[in-house]
Structure 1
Amino acid sequence: MAERPPKIPQSVLVVIHTDALEVLLIERTDAPGFWQSVTGSKDWPEEPFEATARREVLEETGIDAASPGCALSDWFLENVYDIYPQWRHRYAPGVTRNTEHLFGLRVPAGTPVRLSPREHTDYVWLPWQEAAARCFSPSNAEAISLLPRLARPEKA
């Protein structure tokens, strides 16, 4: 099996939510009890963040961000954080920090979720306050707490 290239320390965090501000959280396969929004790194340095967000949402949840009723919004916010030590081996030697670009994805209530079993074991829809409290990552919890201010509800 070929060795995978190092991860690029530029990623996205996508808060998937309904108009009622219910948030989708997914549980990591490699870290039981770690609940999060969709996250993922660029596949190549020039990959646009929006393309990364769309790809990661589809890979991790089976949700196509271009489906009717869905709306991907660039929140124009970034987090820079230390990569957890247990995951640093995925990056080039000496890389310890990651830049994460934030997006929101509004989906219709009842949108089906199909997890990638390689990455996630379970999912749950929660009101935004409960979702923020359940996240293991402080930056993910903070992003969810911004949802009432940044969400763009569907126009009637």
Structure 2
Amino acid sequence: MPHKIPESVLVVIHSADLEVLLIERADRPGFWQSVTGSLDALDEPPLQTAARELFEETGIAVDGAHISLHDWHLSNVYEIYPTWRHRYAPGVTRNTEHVFSVCVPRDIPVVLAPREHLRYAWLPLLEAADRCFSSSNAEAILHLPRHYPPRGA
């Protein structure tokens, strides 16, 4: 299996009233997060990665009309957790994460990828941030009010 590219996306899924959808990792029960995922190819644009990962992990499809991704034009660089470093090339210890958000109706059907996630929960903003195991994910959730509604919306 090829090594993961150390560039990824984080997609904060939320409702219009800023409730946040979190998903629990199947490989680490108790670890809650927003949608995340690595680029599949070096030339895959992060926006495309975000749309792909959103659909793969939740079944939520970007349609451009009612559901569209908002690029925060923000990237976090963080240390890759030691437990996941084996997925990357030897010596790779840092990842660049591009942040996006998407506003969806609270009653949208959510279909989890069973090999990746166990369950999901809609949570108030502060509770969602507290539940995230990733500090960059928690920080993005706390900054969500600054990014919604998107400029020009």
Identity of aligned residues (%): 65
Deviation at 1:69, TM superposition (A): 2.3
Quick one: which amino acid aligns to residue 66 of structure 1?
D
Q: Equivalent residue for 1:118?
A: 115
**Distance in 1 between the 2:106 and 2:137 partners?**
21
- Deviations along 1:83-102, one digit per CA (max 9) or x if unpaired, are 00000000011100000000
Stretches of 4+ aligned residues off by more than 6 angstroms? none
Partner of 2:29: 32
Q: For residues 147 and 59 of structure 2, what CA distance do their matches in structure 1 show? A: 24
Q: CA deviation at 1:71?
A: 2.3
TM-score computed with the length of structure 1 as normaliser? 0.94
The residue aligned with 1:88 is 85
- The aligned residue for residue 132 of structure 1 is 129
Partner amino acid, structure 1, of 2:85 = R
2:17 alignment partner, one of 15, 20, 26 = 20
Within 5 Å, which residues of 2 pair with 1:22-101? Answer: 22-66=19-63, 68-101=65-98
Q: State how far apart, in whole Å, the 1-side matches of 2:24 and 2:135 are.
A: 15
1:2-34 per-residue CA deviation (whole Å, 9 max, x = no partner) reads xx1100000000000110101110000111100
Partner AA of 2:36 in structure 1: T
What 5-or-longer segments of structure 2 have no aligned partner? none
| Bigger shift: residues 31-40 or 58-67 | 58-67
Aligned amino acid, residue 40 of structure 1: G
Alpha-carbon distance in 2 for matches of 1:25, 1:43 = 23
* TM-score normalized with structure 2 length: 0.95
TM-superposed deviation, 1:68: 4.7
Determine the C-alpha separation between the residues in 2 that align with 1:66 and 1:24: 19
Measured in 2, the distance between the counterparts of 1:40 and 1:140 equals 13
Look up the match of 1:144: 141
Deviation at 1:67, TM superposition (A): 6.3
SS at match of 2:111: coil
Give the root-mean-square deviation of aligned CA atoms: 1.5
| 1:9-61 residue CA offsets vs partner (Å, 9 max, x unmatched) | 00000000110101110000111100000000000011000000000000000
Structure 1 gaps, min length 5: none
